[in-house]
């Protein structure tokens, strides 16, 4: 079992969700976060250009069984990139995969892969 954590652009959330649903990955957790990577964006307030040092992003967390890791990663890669070509842009985000020790369904107390 793995936890897949993806940090993506806010604007790509719809596309990523659509791609995940198409790949039959429906159990996800989404949160609004902010952070600092390579990207710089501009906002405007009263005629002043402002470059925030913390940029709003979306964090998606998905717990998956081994067989679904690649499917999930592929779906996110395809949908979170902002260009039509092979390569995306700075700021498209990152995917982290971490091992998941245990998963428990609170309702039934089930443990392991079947609880995901």
Binding site for another protein (CB under 8 A): 10-15, 30-32, 34, 42-45, 56, 58
SS3 27: coil
End-to-end CA distance of the chain, in Å?
9
Nearest distance in Å: CB 14, another protein: 6
- Between 58 and 64, CB nearer to another protein: 58
Nearest distance in Å: CB 62, another protein: 16
- Cα–Cα distance for residue pair 68/76, rounded to 1 Å: 12
Is-contact 54 36, C-beta < 8 A?
Answer: yes
Nearest distance in Å: CB 5, another protein: 16
């Amino acid at each position: 079992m793995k936890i897949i954590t993806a940090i993506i652009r806010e604007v790509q959330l719809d596309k990523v969700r659509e791609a995940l649903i198409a790949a039959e990955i429906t159990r996800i957790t989404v949160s609004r976060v902010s952070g600092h990577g390579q990207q710089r964006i501009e906002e405007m307030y009263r005629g002043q250009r402002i470059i925030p040092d913390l940029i709003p992003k979306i964090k998606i967390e998905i717990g998956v069984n081994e067989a679904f890791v690649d499917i999930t990663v592929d779906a996110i890669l395809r949908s979170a990139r902002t260009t039509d070509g092979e390569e995306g842009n700075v700021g498209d985000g990152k995917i982290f995969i971490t091992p998941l020790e245990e998963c428990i369904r609170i309702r039934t107390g089930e443990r392991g892969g079947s609880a995901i």
